[in-house]
Amino acid sequence: DEAHEKLICQECKEFLLSLPREKGWFKPYIYLYQHIWYAPAQLQALISFQKHFQAKDSDIIIASLPKSGTTWLKALTFAIVNRNRFSPSKHNHPLLISNAHELVPFFEFHDCKTNQIPDFSNLSDPRLFGTHVPCHSLPDSITMSRCRIIYICRNPLDNFVSFWFFYNKIVPPLSPKLSLEEAFERYSEGNSVLGPFWTNILGYWRQGKETPNKVLFLKYEDLKGDTKFYLKRVAEFLDCPFNLAEEGNGVIEKMIELCSFRKMKESAELNKKVKVMQKYENKDFFRKGEVGDWVNHFSPWMKEKLSKVIEEKLGGSGLSF
Ligand code: A3P
């Protein structure tokens, strides 16, 4: 993993030595920082983001754990806030040309050295960002400003399955591979990258309850179940509700179609692109897009174990799946 090592600056390497570490799924080690496990390059970019990021009141942040429907929510939000610039039925809509992760960049996946200021000057207002960082690690500039956060949460059983398939798609061919059971144990115990999953989910869940105008908490399952209802909800939350003419013209339906699993997975233009975020292919982000696929992959003991963890960690919160 030499190329990756080179990205990490000396200052960060020294800092890593002071942190607890665990074996990663991909990287030799992941490091515990502010109660969450990170890969080295991610942590380096996060620290830079925490130090330097200046939020604007108009910023919109899509927060999630990976494999929770982030790509979909980024696309839908982009389509909503830019609908006056780009009609959702436009044949060359940006979402049909660029993967949603390119239009809505992650704060913490920029190849950013510890003291570099991430360059977001190419984004127009309102700026849209993604993050997998927990609520408690967001910089003050975000918490204190009027910018808004939309969080998407997914049933951890499906979240793990999605993670597992993604891992198998992108793991370098010569890397030692984790077994399903080992990956599962680490996920369930909270020792996997960006975990423990409950810390991330609970932080945003509580914040959503405390400050509903700041954080909108959504579930993947709900979004799948009634996409139109939740699109309206998102538009209202962002102070750009659909008007009657738009509703009458079927704008919402067109957006749902534009961002649909099939369209985003199969768009020839999107799949022509060489790399998304410098490492992935467009199709890596689209697998099955269904609720409840865990039943096809879990043994009874896995179901029992993870359900117990969910009950233990999230049971008292009022959040259920
Ligand atoms: P599956 O692996 O279960 O299919 P993320 O975007 O956070 O990486 O999450 C990826 C998951 O969201 C994958 O789940 C993917 O198929 C699903 N997904 C991506 N786009 C979607 C869409 N338009 N509608 C529904 N699910 C989608």
Residue 114 has pLDDT above 70, yes or no: no
Peptide bond into 105 cis (omega under 30): no
**Size of the chain, expressed as the number of residues it contains:** 321
* pLDDT-derived band at 19, boundaries 50, 70, 90: very high
Higher pLDDT, 156 or 5: 156
Provide, rounded to the nearest whole percent, the portion of the chain with pLDDT above 70.
Answer: 96
Task: Please report the pLDDT score of residue 28 as a whole number.
Answer: 84
Rounded CA-CA distance 263/280 in Å is 18
Higher pLDDT, 28 or 104: 104
- Beta carbons of 319 and 218 less than 8 angstroms apart: no
Neighbours of 96 (CB within 10 A): 16
The arithmetic mean of pLDDT across residues 43-65, rounded, is: 93
Residue 5 has pLDDT above 80, yes or no: no
Pairing of strands 29-33, 36-38: antiparallel
Task: Please report the pLDDT score of residue 229 as a whole number.
Answer: 98
Residues 6+ apart with CB under 8 A from 232: 241, 242, 252
Check pocket membership of 259 for ligand 1, CB cut-off 6 A: yes
Residue 2 has pLDDT above 70, yes or no: no
Peptide bond into 126 cis (omega under 30): yes
Strand-pairing partners, residue 23, are 29
Q: Which residues are catalytic?
A: 132
CA trace torsion 1, 156, 287, 276 (10° rounding):
-40
CA trace torsion 63, 68, 74, 80 (10° rounding):
-100
Check pocket membership of 69 for ligand 1, CB cut-off 6 A: yes
pTM of the model: 0.95
The single-letter DSSP state of residue 118 is P
Higher pLDDT, 288 or 281: 288
DSSP letter string, 55-104: --TT-EEEEE-TTSSHHHHHHHHHHHHTTTTS-TT-TT-HHHHS-HHHHS
Check pocket membership of 286 for ligand 1, CB cut-off 6 A: yes
Chain mean pLDDT for the chain = 92
Residue with tokens 């945003």: 204
The arithmetic mean of pLDDT across residues 167-174, rounded, is: 87
* pLDDT-derived band at 6, boundaries 50, 70, 90: low
Residue 293 has pLDDT above 60, yes or no: yes
Task: Please report the pLDDT score of residue 55 as a whole number.
Answer: 95
Q: How far is the CA of 78 from the centre of ligand 1 (A)?
A: 16
Check pocket membership of 260 for ligand 1, CB cut-off 6 A: yes
Which run of H or E residues covers position 150? strand 148-153
- Kindly provide the ipTM of the predicted complex, given to two decimals: 0.99
Q: For ligand 1, pick from 62, 68, 70, 72 the residue to mutate: most ligand atoms within 8 Å of CB.
A: 72
Provide, rounded to the nearest whole percent, the portion of the chain with pLDDT above 90.
Answer: 74
